[in-house]
Amino acid sequence: MSDWVSYYRGEGPQEDEEEEQDEERAEAVADYRFLGRDSLVFLVDASKGMFEPDGDGATPFDMAIQCIWSVYTSKIISSDRDLLGVVFYGTEENKNSADFKHVYVLQELDNPGAKRVLELDQYRGDKGQVLFRDTFGHNADYSLGEALWACSNLFSDVRVRLSHKRIMLFTNEDDPHANDSVKAKMARTRAGDLRDTGIILDLMHLKKPGGFDISLFYRDIVNIAEDEDLGIQPEQSEKLEHLMKKVRAKETKKRTLARLNLYLNKDLSLSVGVYNLLHKAYKPYPVKLYRETNELVKIKTRMFNAQTGSLLLPSDTKRAQTYGNRQIVLEKEETEELRRFGSAGLYLIGFKPLSVLKQHHHIRPSQFIYPEESLISGSTTLFNALLMKCLEREMMILCRYTARQNTPPRFVALVPQEEEVDEQKVQIAPPGFHIIFLPYADDKRKVDFTEKLPASREQVDKMKEIVQKLRFKYRIDSFENPVLQQHFRNLEALALGLLEPEQAEDLTMPKVEEMNRRLGNLVEEFKQLVYPPDYNPNGKSVKQNQASDGPAKKRVKVEISKDELRSHVQKGTLGKLTVPVLKDACRLYGLKGGGKKQELMDALTEYFNEH
């Protein structure tokens, strides 16, 4: 199994993914089991107004569909256990469990899947709008209250436990029942019912000619989650990217990794919630299917005694490591106990100026903390005071961090972040502290640096011109992971029976032509300043040198006699040889040893014990 895992998780031979990641993964899974699933219903206004183009941009309806479609595809990648649903109102046709007129449930709450994505895809773009009109029609005689009722029915029809229920309402009509006070009242009542049953109702208001006025009607309808209150109303979304930003920010329920105390000293603490704002998305693990039926098979592992064949319970085993020719045995509990240094929490060590934080002291993605009132009330005010002062004085907090009871402590810097909203009044930076993990002495390696050879003023200036030509604004969401994207497009193609998977655009590739065009003559000018005419930086000549030189040299070194090898095997000192030497030796004797040193050594030992 081990190489299986590394195949899927590894970044290659140089990087073994850490166990912590596994722990976090396990937690995420546990979450679903104990807390239930997240659910999200998209409620889309399908009346005529939504289909009226404004200038050259997409229609509000198209924006909404694009946005929902993209949430579906991203959910499949990031959290395919969440439930999604789509409901239209203002249609001529109707379909819902209560037979309300002009309310059409396109998709009930369920996991996103290939068919649903494809169904949504039909209604994208100009053609999609025509199809939609032909299929569902428009009718302005709808009741928003009934639409909300239909949504809440979707939630109660779900059999699994739901932890988080949310409706996103897309519309560009700011006063739908202006002339019908009965319907308006019913909508308000229904919205109130939703609030009482813990269903969040977010308004994704789209562009309306003359501006969308929330105060006319929707102020009483929306129901903002308590923990997402920005104290300001967002602007209407005029562009798809604005809408996407608003939706993205709310599409996943925030989950704490842990709730714990920040101890200022032994008996003074405030409580915080720890969040992962960055979480490496992996290619999912494959599952095993039965060849005949394509049904899932269960995988069970059991341990048994090789001598007697009897089943072994975990308590029938111990744990061991070998050092200095001696096997040292511990109980499994003891291997956990030795990781224990105290209870979970953040323990204050002191404050430091932000300027002493070294950018290159990075060992793990950061986490984020935000105050938590549920353990210690009053935490938020103290937290806010610390945040304000740290921001003002450009200080950070140094802490010792024990994430869980059996996790050894690490030192972390709490770096303050000021809250920030963009022009659309969408939060782009939440208030709180980033937890930056700091390296221990063991985590730093000495490297063999190259002597510097300073460039001249002229050379630096020329390079500055090059740099200036290639400037762009980096955004944290600029790059999609091409490996993941390709994987999921392949799956999509297979699931839908398409002949060819759609090729994902690889945003990580440099746009060479564009770059060359922008740089023009600058590259030649720089090369003339820096490189002699006969120099080839692509290393061909140098490489060839190495090629004729290197392996030859190596081979001399590598040629290790059979007797020497035998003596190494006998003395148990094979480990002193380097991997290339061992590899060559294996090749020489036609042994398959795998790539790891231990495997190579084992193969050789076995060979020499037999020959």
Partner 1 sequence: MNVLALPGSYRSTVAIVLCLDVGFTMSSSAPGEECSLEQAKKIMTKFVQRQVFAESKDEIAVVLFGTDGTRNDLASRDQYQNITVHRSLMLPDFDLLEDIQDVIKPGSEQADFLDAIIVCMDLLQKQTIGKKYEKRHIELFTDLSSPVSEDQLEIIIANLKKTGISLQFFLPFPVDVDDGGGDPSAGVHSHIHRNPFPRKGLTEQQKEGIDVVRKLMHTLDEEGGLEEIYTFRESLERLSMFKKIERRPMAWPCQLTIGSNLSIRIVAYKSVTEEKVKKVWTTVDAKTLRKDDVQKETVYCLNDDVETEVQKDDTIQGFRYGSDIVPFSKEDEEQMKYKTEAKCFSVLGFSRSSQVQHCYMGNQVLKVFAAKDDENAAVAFSALVHALDELKVVAVVRYAYDRRCNPQIGSAFPYIKDAYECLIYVQLPYMEDLRQYIFSSLKNNKKYIPTADQLSAVDSLIDSMNLVYEADDGETFEDLFKPSKIPNPHFQRLYQCLQHKAFHPNEPLPPIEEHILEMLEMPSVVKERCQGPLEKIKALFPLKEVGKKKEKMTAQDIFKDRNIKILVVGSVNPAEDFRILVRQKNADFKDVSQQLINRIDQFLENKGSQYYMKGINCIRVFREEAVKLSKVQCFNDFLQALKSKVEDKALADFWEIMIQGRMQWDTLTDGSGVSLKQTKSLKKSFTLQLPFSH
State the catalytic residues.
33
Nearer Cβ to partner 1 (53/575): 575
Binders in 153-172 for partner 1, by CB under 8 A: 156, 158-162
Q: Which two tokens stand for residue 560?
A: 């290790």
Q: Which residues are CB-contacts of 515 (< 8 A; sequence separation ≥ 6)?
A: 470
Q: Which two tokens stand for residue 363?
A: 């060992």
Name the CA dihedral angle for 302, 306, 307, 311, rounded to a multiple of 10 degrees: 0
Does residue 307 bind partner 1 (CB under 8 A)?
Answer: yes
Binders in 551-610 for partner 1, by CB under 8 A: 573, 575-576
Nearer Cβ to partner 1 (318/555): 318
Alpha carbons within 13 A on the beta-carbon side of 491: 16
CB of 92 to partner 1, least distance (A): 30
Do 235 and 424 meet the contact criterion of CB atoms below 8 Å apart?
A: yes
What burial class does residue 141 get, using C-beta atoms within 10 Å of its C-beta: 0-12 exposed, 13-18 middle, 19+ buried?
exposed
**Cα separation, 77 vs 83, whole angstroms:** 13
Does residue 228 bind partner 1 (CB under 8 A)?
Answer: yes
Q: Which two tokens stand for residue 95?
A: 């379909």
Which of these ranges, 91-99, 123-131, 230-238, 584-592, lies near partner 1 under the rule CB under 8 A? Answer: 230-238
Beta strands at 162-171 and 103-110: parallel, antiparallel or unpaired: unpaired
CB of 521 to partner 1, least distance (A): 10
Does residue 495 bind partner 1 (CB under 8 A)?
Answer: yes
CB of 182 to partner 1, least distance (A): 28
CB of 180 to partner 1, least distance (A): 31
Q: Which two tokens stand for residue 202?
A: 């977010």
CB of 442 to partner 1, least distance (A): 5
Nearer Cβ to partner 1 (212/383): 383
CB of 54 to partner 1, least distance (A): 27
Nearer Cβ to partner 1 (179/301): 301
Nearer Cβ to partner 1 (320/588): 320
Nearer Cβ to partner 1 (177/462): 462
N-terminal to C-terminal alpha carbon distance within the chain:
31
Does residue 324 bind partner 1 (CB under 8 A)?
Answer: yes
* Among 118, 182, 338, 588, interactor with partner 1 by CB under 8 A: 338
Does residue 481 bind partner 1 (CB under 8 A)?
Answer: yes
Alpha carbons within 13 A on the beta-carbon side of 337: 6
**Cα separation, 169 vs 50, whole angstroms:** 13
381 phi and psi, to 5 degrees? -65, -45
* Among 138, 195, 279, 404, interactor with partner 1 by CB under 8 A: 279
CB of 609 to partner 1, least distance (A): 16
**Cα separation, 374 vs 274, whole angstroms:** 13
Binders in 51-80 for partner 1, by CB under 8 A: 74-78, 80
Q: Nearest to residue 443, comparing CAs of 338, 363, 366, 365? A: 363
* Among 14, 179, 181, 561, interactor with partner 1 by CB under 8 A: 14
CB of 197 to partner 1, least distance (A): 9
Q: Which two tokens stand for residue 80?
A: 């395919």
Does residue 468 bind partner 1 (CB under 8 A)?
Answer: yes
| Dihedral sign, Cα of residue 98, residue 99, residue 100, residue 104 | positive
* Among 29, 268, 547, 588, interactor with partner 1 by CB under 8 A: 268
What burial class does residue 214 get, using C-beta atoms within 10 Å of its C-beta: 0-12 exposed, 13-18 middle, 19+ buried?
middle
Binders in 350-369 for partner 1, by CB under 8 A: 350-353, 356, 359-366
Cα 40 to its chain centre, rounded Å, is 19
Alpha carbons within 13 A on the beta-carbon side of 187: 22
Helix (H) or strand (E) holding 266: none
CB of 98 to partner 1, least distance (A): 16
- State the binding string over 188-227 for partner 1 (x if CB under 8 A, else -): --------------------------------------xx
Give the count of beta carbons closer than 10 Å to the beta carbon of residue 335. 14
Does residue 306 bind partner 1 (CB under 8 A)?
Answer: yes
Nearer Cβ to partner 1 (181/310): 310
Does residue 476 bind partner 1 (CB under 8 A)?
Answer: yes
125 phi and psi, to 5 degrees? 75, -175
Q: Nearest to residue 13, comparing CAs of 597, 609, 610, 608? A: 597
**Cα separation, 15 vs 282, whole angstroms:** 14
Binders in 15-54 for partner 1, by CB under 8 A: 15-16, 18, 33-34
* Among 49, 60, 432, 593, interactor with partner 1 by CB under 8 A: 432
Nearer Cβ to partner 1 (141/598): 598
Nearer Cβ to partner 1 (393/554): 393
Does residue 535 bind partner 1 (CB under 8 A)?
Answer: yes
* Among 209, 210, 423, 447, interactor with partner 1 by CB under 8 A: 447
Does residue 405 bind partner 1 (CB under 8 A)?
Answer: no
Q: Which two tokens stand for residue 294?
A: 């394509």
